[in-house]
Amino acid sequence: MHEGWIFIILFLCALGAIATFLYMGYKREAERQTTIRLAVDKGQELTAEVVASLVPKKRIGLTGLNLGMPFVGLGLAFVIFGYGINEPEAQWGGVFPLFVGLGFIASWYIGRKVV
């Protein structure tokens, strides 16, 4: 297999995962709108509690800790892998994601202390 195909397949898999995530969100919202529309067409009264139960709960979102831990893990994996095969370039390739992850974790820690 040609080396270029690996990157193309990797890109297509990532694109497929993102498209699936977006489509599922669209589908969930469409089902919610259909449910509300059917209830209104049947003449049911929509109280605030009913509408609130149909609206998805707000997610907290990505925090620095949620973003930082995968970066730290990826960076440590590259550093350990580079050390295992005795390849300095691979070790230094892991330092960047390691420090990015540590930066995210530090921002989460500082933001938590302020609030």
Question: Which residues, 6 or more positions from 62, have their beta carbon under 8 angstroms from its beta carbon?
Answer: none
Long-range contacts of 84-91 (CB under 8 A, 24+ apart): none
Report the C-alpha gap between 98 and 103 in whole angstroms: 9
Report the C-alpha gap between 103 and 109 in whole angstroms: 10
In which region does residue 46 sit, left (phi positive, over 0), alpha (psi from -120 to 50) or beta (all else)? beta
Do 100 and 61 touch, CB atoms closer than 8 A?
no
Query: What average pLDDT does range 4-20 have in this prediction?
Result: 84
> pLDDT by residue (tens digit) across 40-90?
888 888 778 877 777 767 666 667 788 888 889 988 888 888 888 887 777
Report the C-alpha gap between 35 and 115 in whole angstroms: 39
Over pLDDT 90: what percentage of the chain?
Answer: 10
pTM above 0.85, yes or no: no
pLDDT at 103: 92
